[in-house]
Amino acid sequence: MPASSYTVAEGQAQDSCEHIAQVATVEPSTPGQCEDCIREGSRWVHLRLCLSCGHMGCCDNSPRRHATAHWHASRHPVIRSAEPGEEWAWCYPDELMLVPIEV
Ligand SMILES: [Zn+2]
Ligand SMILES: [Zn+2]
Ligand SMILES: [Zn+2]
């Protein structure tokens, strides 16, 4: 199910993203859960997976915004949605929506 590669979704400020090349095949650190919320005893809304290291974090609608916090702490540039049925990814440095390339 994991997409092997991504491309920039249409209609955005730029149509290329050098960070896509850094996307790796990762195993979620805590499948189905935000690892930082578990540690802190907080709750998440939606889950985001770091495509550099497999860190499971939570979205910006969550109280603690752990996925964005992970980006600031690690500089790992690309996350994807870990919600069922969602395959989009997001490049933090470029603020670009990415979509999987069907292979
Ligand atoms: Zn980028
Ligand atoms: Zn969290
Ligand atoms: Zn990471």
pLDDT of 1 reads 40
Q: What is the pLDDT of residues 18-75, one digit of tens each?
A: 999 999 999 999 999 999 999 999 999 999 999 999 999 999 999 999 999 999 999 9
What is the domain partition of the chain in residue ranges? 6-100
Task: Return the pLDDT at 4.
Answer: 60
Q: Give 95 Cα–ligand 2 centroid separation in angstroms.
A: 20
Q: Is 32 exposed, middle or buried (0-12, 13-18, 19+ CB in 10 A)?
A: exposed
Tens-place pLDDT, residues 72-98: 999 999 999 999 999 999 999 999 999
Q: How many A from CA of 71 to the centre of ligand 1? A: 13
- The Cα–Cα gap between 50 and 53 comes to 6
Fold classification of 6-100 is: Herpes Virus-1 (3.30.40)
State the pLDDT at residue 3.
Answer: 46
- Cα of 84 to ligand 2 centre, how many Å? 17
How far does residue 41's CA lie from ligand 1's centre (Å)? Answer: 32
Distance CA 26, CA 3 (A): 11
Residue 102, pLDDT score = 78
